Structure 1
Amino acid sequence: MIKHFILLAIFLVGGTTLTGQKDSDILFTVAGEPVTVEEFTYIYAKTNGDDADFSESSIKEYLDLYQRFKLKVVRAKSMGLDTVAALQQELAGYRRQLADNYLVNRQVTDRLIQELHEHQQQDIEIQHILFQFRGNPRPEDTLRLFKLANSVRQTVTIDNFAEKAQQYSQDKYSKDKGGKIGFVTAPFPKGLHNLEAALYEAPVNTVVGPIRTEAGYHLAAKTASRPARGEIEAAHIMVRKPESGDPASVIGKINKAKLLLDDGTDFGQVAATFSEDDKTKDNDGYIGFFGINRYERAIEDAAFALEADGDYSDVVESKVGYHIIKRISRKGIQPLNDVRALLESKIKADGRFADAEQRMLNKIRTGDNVTENKAAFGRYAATLVDSTFFNFRWTPMAVKGEVSLLKIEDDFNRTLTDFQEYLTKNTRKRVGMGRTMNAYSVANNLYESWIEEQLMEYAESRLEKDYPEFRALMREYREGILLFEATKMEVWDRASEDTLGLQQFFEEHREDYRWGERAEITSYVVSTAGGLDPKSVYEYARTHGPDATQDEFGRASMEVTTRPYELNRMVEFEGLEAKKGSLTKLTNDLRKNQATFHKVERLLPPRNKELREARGYVIADFQDALEKQWVENLRKQYPIKVNKKALAKLIKS
């Protein structure tokens, strides 16, 4: 449990970046093993946080701590702990967990969060022409639709956009409005992230596209941009338009409400009297927070035009009636760190995350250092036969020599044999896909999945090279595991198992473990359910001990416990004084049918503790003593050499 807590602590602060010097100079060595300035600076800055002032006292204090740490790591290696299979597997598990998160978070998630937050700084006014997918389109269907969208694109300008939208668009909402959507903000609805990215990047009044989304292909334009409105918290007074006839009486009613507000009448009071919105009138007209496109444009514009909390608008007309809107508060776009978790959930809820991850893999795949032998795969796939390939008992063909399918640089090579192992492990998927595809198509689909797995594995294998922070974290994990195991074997286990050593240590330090003056306190819990008068018990206990009191009133009618308390703990008992016979007040709990009180029976003089009474403290101190002696012996066994020039450069005067 302690071990996992230590390693979890390392993981939680793992986002710290390297600061200060990145010098490869050696700061000190332990038994010839070097510690660079970069390594020490990283761990010093991370551990000390805002207190990392690089002063002489701070640096030298932490240098001593880190030297002790390194001494224990060297000792662990000399014990062969770095070769223990169980510890190697444990480290590999930590690496997989860290790499899975680190790779995607650094190369995909962090960038998308930053991008989305940047988009949210602006509201953009847009229009589009949609060439809509129907059902589950086949590749030939999407190609036909793309060609249509692309041909129309050649004729579309910002000036004739509305005309072309009315002619071609299949978006029923915006078609008759010339493709106009109005002002929107990020994120766009699920599946439209590509359209969002294109429009936020596009200049105003420039046609872009065709852009593919889950809905189809879009031609689009950004016609205006403004600072994001964010959200406003508001209340309103609303009177409805009559279904027929002259609206004069309604207008008169809302104007009367406005006059009362102008005269200083409370907004909530006016809302309760005049508003016809039954959901809000009795709650001061409160409608909560809203952003753009929640209400009609007139209401939205009036609300966001209010400059200060408490301001209210003139009468605003909507399709359903007339409104007076009050601003309660306004919330702009929040700082990135405050909304990071929310934005992460948003990007992982739509397709932009999967698309970005795919682009990352494609970038690796098309790199100059990547060789993919598609010809060899094609020849292999052509040999596969449906009748045997889609059988659960299919076995891979024998391969002569090493046929490379994927090679990256000189040290990452994946072969046809590796791919066949993948096919064997994914038998259910292979057989299932065979219901709708032939052997060649299934092999090709599985090949693409396999390639992506290999590319991800390659990217993970380079984390130490590409990210100094990851390299530092893995060093901390590795050395943390070794430190834990060595300390457990040489200190913690000995402290708990060496009974003679523990007893001797206790005898040598007996005066360090003493009871101060204590009070022996009896606590009474008296049941009143049977009619026993707790006041009688209270008065009797004033002059008698607990045994006599229980004998007098019956042991079944009360719970009595007596135990010693150090005087500084007597604050737990209100009104109890450190003197014999002191009593608290009698407290009755009618719901539980019981009464309680406490009494000081006697004061106990200071004395030394016995080992059984101080065992936990003694073991902890014994461990400290053993560890101190252990470190002293390690210093003698493994010499430390400090590079004084490198140390001097670290210290800020």
Structure 2
Amino acid sequence: MTKLILGLACALSLSFPLVAQQDDDVLFTVDGAPVTVGEFRYIYSKTNSGEADFSRASVMEYLDLYERFKLKVARANEMGLDTVTALQNELEGYRRQLANNYLVDREVTDKLVEDLYARQQRDVEFSHILLTLPSGDPADTLAVYRRARELRDEVTAENFAEQARTYSEDAYSKDRGGRIGYVSAPLPRGMYRLEEALYGAEDGAVVGPVRTPAGYHIALRHGSRPAYGEVEIAHILIRKGDNVETAAARARAEAARQALTDGASFEDVAAEYSEDDETRQQGGYIGFFGINRYNKDFERAAFALERDGAISDVIESPVGFHVLKRISRRGMQPLEQQRPLLEAAVRNDVRYADAQRALLQRLAKEYGTKKMQANYADFVAGLDSTFFLLDTDLAPAGDDKVLLQVGDRELRASDFANYLTRNARLRASLERRYEADGAADLLFESWTDEQVQAYAEAQLEKQFPEFRALMREYREGILLFEATKLEVWDKAGEDSTGLQAFFDAHRDDYRFGPQAHVLTFTVTGDGPAPAEVLSYARTHDPEATADHFAGTGVAVGEERYEEDRLPDGLTMEAGSATAPTVTAGSTTFQLVADVEPARRKELAEARGYVIADYQDQLEREWVEALRRKFAVKRNQKVLAKLIES
């Protein structure tokens, strides 16, 4: 029973798609309430996971389990538990939590993650021409955009390098004809639109202008290659500059390289030579990295190492001279392993906001969202500078007119006013940039998005069978838990008479095996010799032994063990003893004083086990009573078809 509750109510964060089912055949009914093949297939597959083989034995076992589950739900409904306010609130709280991200995750996050993962399978090589923005003034931005458009008309793949040297404002790449080299997705934050243009272009194509926070880009895609993945590296660094002679630094790096050739370990040489204080005591360990994280020469040398353990020649970077060791190299990891990192990447990028906005626009169109222009104009006409005050009353003074319609839902001026009140600080912050009507327009757009998403979330059960299945599963799990608590668990814990009667009828089921009475002696300081203590203890009871050695540095502990828990070195025989163990100035040994024969436990000694067994009996009796009360009818033809699937 506990396994079923956990399977049906606790693992709800997992979402398994329903297997396509062309019909809604009824597999069985409980008191006339149908359970379809689709419902059973879903819960069977989810609970059994990889072991859901739809064999006769497996299906029949779980069918019996699920019928019992449905019987308890029927009883819960009969008890009226589905009308209990606390349980309704618990279910609604869960639905809000689940629905809050369900649509966006399904429609936005999952797709963005899959798209990004697909892009990460290849590195793209490109060059670009960058025209920077001199200020945030819209007029300046427009002027730069027009210049970029004009330049784009003149740029070809053949003259790209020349044009980049002439016009690009990227100091890093200008002198190299705008060449950036290979990059991998995702590009740095804010560069999503450039990434999208590059990965969407053909080799040899010029794209742009593309706007990023850096300005406007015109880019040439040279080609692509299978992604390099990541390499795990350790290094030895000898710094240059800051009054360090370059020749002397190189000579020291060569000496370190020679020490490796002569057989010294990389860890020892790093500790002796390396001037990278962060890694020298860790064997020079840097870790895994991909392309475009370090200097190009450093990166090129790292990825050029062809096997684990290979050592590079001395290479130079802007910070000094390096000797590299390849520890390992790995390609792209499976999507599910990468998913958490990719989700974080897309959520912190403009691509997420773009996709979320596109989703809301699509849903608004799909549901038939309509702004009531005349009514909205009347609402805005009543606004003045008090609109920006935190505590202003924005409730409509006259008719509470409809301002927005989403599907079959009408939202009124009072609903918009409540939204404005909830977002008072945001409303107040707009005073520096907007008049009251402009701020209201901006907030109305945000409110519309919120209402469209809320309406979409209200339709989840209709649109997504798996969401409907999850909500049914959680609702029935709550009802089952509460009904079982009232009918079984509470009774087992509170019915002392019934518990005692059950125990009396099953006394022989609760027994202790033979138990060894074990004494543990610890002798400290200048106490008596262990042999003396052991000799006395073998002929006297524990109390007499403790009294005899009182005040002499001898401590005596007692415990009883059944045979399977007996400490090493002891046997189930009186007089059995362990060899003395000396630790930190004390000597410890153990002695079996006597062995008690097997006996039956009293209720107080077995109470936890007895309650659990009593609960199982009560539940069996409960289910039998429910089967007599609520008829269960199986459709044998549908069942046979399910097993054959």
Global fold match (TM > 0.5): yes
| Cα distance in 1, alignment partners of residues 374 and 594 from structure 2 | 94
Matched, 1:200 2:199: yes
For 1:9, the equivalent position in structure 2 comes to 10
Q: CA deviation at 1:250?
A: 7.0
Q: CA deviation at 1:635?
A: 0.6
Q: Which range is displaced more, 210-219 or 238-247?
A: 238-247
For 1:360, the equivalent position in structure 2 comes to 359
Q: Is the 8 A contact 1:22 1:37 kept in 2?
A: no
Cα deviation per residue 1:499-545 (whole Å; 9 max; x = unaligned)? 1111111111112112222222233344x25x434624444323322
- The counterpart of 1:550, out of the listed 536, 546, 550, is 546
Q: Is the 8 A contact 2:148 2:209 kept in 1?
A: yes
Q: Is the 8 A contact 2:238 2:249 kept in 1?
A: no
For 1:79, the equivalent position in structure 2 comes to 79
Matched, 1:569 2:570: no
Which residue identity does 1:621 align to in structure 2?
D
Q: CA deviation at 1:23?
A: 3.4
Q: CA deviation at 1:252?
A: 13
Q: Which range is displaced more, 494-503 or 165-174?
A: 165-174
| Cα distance in 1, alignment partners of residues 257 and 422 from structure 2 | 74
Which residue identity does 2:484 align to in structure 1?
T
For 1:443, the equivalent position in structure 2 comes to 440
| Cα distance in 1, alignment partners of residues 606 and 176 from structure 2 | 83
For 2:163, the equivalent position in structure 1 comes to 164
For 2:372, the equivalent position in structure 1 comes to 373
Distance 1:66 1:249, change over 3 A: closer
Which residue identity does 1:583 align to in structure 2?
A
Cα deviation per residue 1:385-411 (whole Å; 9 max; x = unaligned)? 113652624241234254141322x3x
For 1:507, the equivalent position in structure 2 comes to 504
For 1:112, the equivalent position in structure 2 comes to 112
| Cα distance in 1, alignment partners of residues 231 and 200 from structure 2 | 27
- The counterpart of 1:602, out of the listed 577, 594, 597, is 594
> Partner of 2:478: helix, strand, or coil?
helix
| Cα distance in 2, alignment partners of residues 390 and 249 from structure 1 | 66
Matched, 1:584 2:572: no
For 2:414, the equivalent position in structure 1 comes to 417
Distance 1:193 1:238, change over 3 A: same
Q: Which range is displaced more, 438-447 or 161-170?
A: 161-170
| Cα distance in 2, alignment partners of residues 438 and 414 from structure 1 | 24
For 1:630, the equivalent position in structure 2 comes to 622
Q: CA deviation at 1:492?
A: 0.4
| Cα distance in 1, alignment partners of residues 220 and 410 from structure 2 | 46
For 1:209, the equivalent position in structure 2 comes to 208
| Cα distance in 1, alignment partners of residues 428 and 239 from structure 2 | 64
| Cα distance in 2, alignment partners of residues 462 and 342 from structure 1 | 30
Q: Is the 8 A contact 1:238 1:254 kept in 2?
A: no
| Cα distance in 1, alignment partners of residues 513 and 246 from structure 2 | 91
| Cα distance in 2, alignment partners of residues 248 and 387 from structure 1 | 73
Q: CA deviation at 1:634?
A: 0.5
Q: CA deviation at 1:10?
A: 2.0
Q: Is the 8 A contact 2:507 2:600 kept in 1?
A: yes
Q: CA deviation at 1:381?
A: 1.6
Q: Which range is displaced more, 64-73 or 241-250?
A: 241-250
Distance 1:57 1:155, change over 3 A: same
Cα deviation per residue 1:331-357 (whole Å; 9 max; x = unaligned)? 112121222122222223333323322
Which residue identity does 2:495 align to in structure 1?
D
Cα deviation per residue 1:240-294 (whole Å; 9 max; x = unaligned)? 9999999899799969968x98xx8547479949x97544899877665443234
Matched, 1:645 2:641: no
| Cα distance in 2, alignment partners of residues 556 and 75 from structure 1 | 68
For 1:29, the equivalent position in structure 2 comes to 29
| Cα distance in 2, alignment partners of residues 518 and 621 from structure 1 | 24
Question: % of aligned pairs identical?
Answer: 49
Q: Is the 8 A contact 2:121 2:227 kept in 1?
A: yes
Q: CA deviation at 1:383?
A: 2.2
Q: CA deviation at 1:489?
A: 0.3
Aligned positions of 1:64-463 closer than 5 A: 64-134=64-134, 137-234=136-233, 265-266=262-263, 268=265, 272=269, 278-279=275-276, 288-311=287-310, 327-367=326-366, 369-387=368-386, 390=389, 392-400=391-399, 402-408=401-407, 410=408, 412-463=409-460
Which residue identity does 1:544 align to in structure 2?
H
| Cα distance in 2, alignment partners of residues 349 and 249 from structure 1 | 42
Gaps of 5+ in 2: none
For 1:58, the equivalent position in structure 2 comes to 58
Q: CA deviation at 1:214?
A: 2.6
Distance 1:398 1:319, change over 3 A: closer
| Cα distance in 1, alignment partners of residues 431 and 320 from structure 2 | 61
Q: Is the 8 A contact 2:231 2:326 kept in 1?
A: yes
| Cα distance in 2, alignment partners of residues 627 and 405 from structure 1 | 53
Q: Is the 8 A contact 1:272 1:282 kept in 2?
A: no
> Partner of 2:115: helix, strand, or coil?
helix
| Cα distance in 2, alignment partners of residues 504 and 244 from structure 1 | 91
| Cα distance in 1, alignment partners of residues 247 and 347 from structure 2 | 50
Cα deviation per residue 1:151-206 (whole Å; 9 max; x = unaligned)? 43333322333333344433232233332211111121111122112211111222
Aligned positions of 1:477-516 closer than 5 A: 477-516=474-513
Q: CA deviation at 1:304?
A: 2.9
Cα deviation per residue 1:12-60 (whole Å; 9 max; x = unaligned)? 4x22222364531111110111100000001111111121111111111
Gaps of 5+ in 1: none
| Cα distance in 2, alignment partners of residues 325 and 171 from structure 1 | 31
Cα deviation per residue 1:392-439 (whole Å; 9 max; x = unaligned)? 24241234254141322x3x3322221112122233332343354321
Q: Is the 8 A contact 1:165 1:178 kept in 2?
A: yes
Q: CA deviation at 1:132?
A: 2.7
> Partner of 1:575: helix, strand, or coil?
coil
| Cα distance in 2, alignment partners of residues 285 and 492 from structure 1 | 60
> Partner of 1:414: helix, strand, or coil?
strand
Q: Which range is displaced more, 80-89 or 190-199?
A: 190-199
Matched, 1:619 2:611: yes
Q: CA deviation at 1:77?
A: 0.5
Q: CA deviation at 1:610?
A: 1.4
Q: CA RMSD in A?
A: 3.5
Q: Which range is displaced more, 104-113 or 153-162?
A: 153-162
Which residue identity does 2:107 align to in structure 1?
Q
| Cα distance in 1, alignment partners of residues 598 and 450 from structure 2 | 70
Q: Is the 8 A contact 1:311 1:326 kept in 2?
A: yes
Q: Is the 8 A contact 2:387 2:436 kept in 1?
A: no
Cα deviation per residue 1:589-612 (whole Å; 9 max; x = unaligned)? 31xx54433222221122222111
Matched, 1:532 2:524: no
| Cα distance in 2, alignment partners of residues 353 and 399 from structure 1 | 41
Which residue identity does 1:599 align to in structure 2?
L
> Partner of 2:502: helix, strand, or coil?
helix
> Partner of 1:11: helix, strand, or coil?
coil
| Cα distance in 2, alignment partners of residues 256 and 491 from structure 1 | 75
Q: CA deviation at 1:129?
A: 2.4
> Partner of 2:366: helix, strand, or coil?
coil
Distance 1:395 1:130, change over 3 A: same
| Cα distance in 2, alignment partners of residues 323 and 422 from structure 1 | 60
Q: Which range is displaced more, 331-340 or 473-482?
A: 331-340
TM-score by length of 2: 0.89
Q: Is the 8 A contact 2:256 2:269 kept in 1?
A: no
Number of equivalent positions: 639
> Partner of 1:210: helix, strand, or coil?
strand
| Cα distance in 2, alignment partners of residues 636 and 562 from structure 1 | 54
Distance 1:244 1:561, change over 3 A: closer
